[in-house]
Amino acid sequence: MTTLDLFGSPAEGEREWLGSQAVVLRGQAAPCAVELLDAVEAIVAQSPFRQMVTPGGLTIAVASTNCGALGWTSDRRGYRYDGIDPLCGRPWPAMPGCFMHLAQQAAADAGFLGFEPDACLINQYLPGTKLSLHQDKNERDFNAPIVSVSLGMTAVFLFGGHDRGERAFRISLHHGDVAVWGGVDRLRYHGVMALADAPHAQLGNRRINLTIRKAG
């Protein structure tokens, strides 16, 4: 694996390209972070965080919930999108306007105009939790990009190739950073290394990640 940026915090407004159509927009979400986090709290009050189960019966370490017309879920029946929260039997909370605005602006800044997301997976990481290398491929439209917003503790993001065995870059994602990938980079493997216990001033020992997609 190659390290792109493990030390220090890049200046807000910088762009770091991970591929021809994959970029980290440094600090893009920082100005609206309080609004985003308030919206997350309102969503969690309706659809709480939960640890889902893989089709193979393993418990996913990262706790998750969703908002938008569709929510990503996993259980013994497989990975899929559904309009109903299986935990409470109600539709997922609507996607907040601040999520939509940020995602569309970030997508446009990365070269993807006309992004109309309908799903947002919200992940909560604690120290020691990680996300293994995987592809986002449960969506119907691979032409739309992925927009990933980091809030709270710094994480080391892994961004690999189109095959699991290809070398993955490591890049640190700080509070307010937004990663966008699509086009030729849309199906690249990616993940998150185990979080170090380095509390954030606002969120303490939590990292909240918003992954905003067009699923339907």
pLDDT digit string (tens) for 9-50?
566 789 999 999 999 999 999 999 999 999 999 999 999 999
pLDDT digit string (tens) for 113-140?
999 999 999 999 999 999 999 999 999 9
Question: Given pLDDT bands bounded at 50, 70 and 90, which one contains residue 89?
Answer: very high
29 to 13, 42, 118, 168: CA distances (angstroms): 10, 18, 19, 25
What ranges do the domains of the chain cover?
Answer: 2-213
Residue range 2-213, CATH number: 2.60.120.590
167 to 126, 146, 160, 190: CA distances (angstroms): 26, 21, 6, 11
In angstroms, rounded to a whole number, what is the distance separating the alpha carbons of residues 63 and 136? 17
**Does residue 2 have a pLDDT over 60?**
no
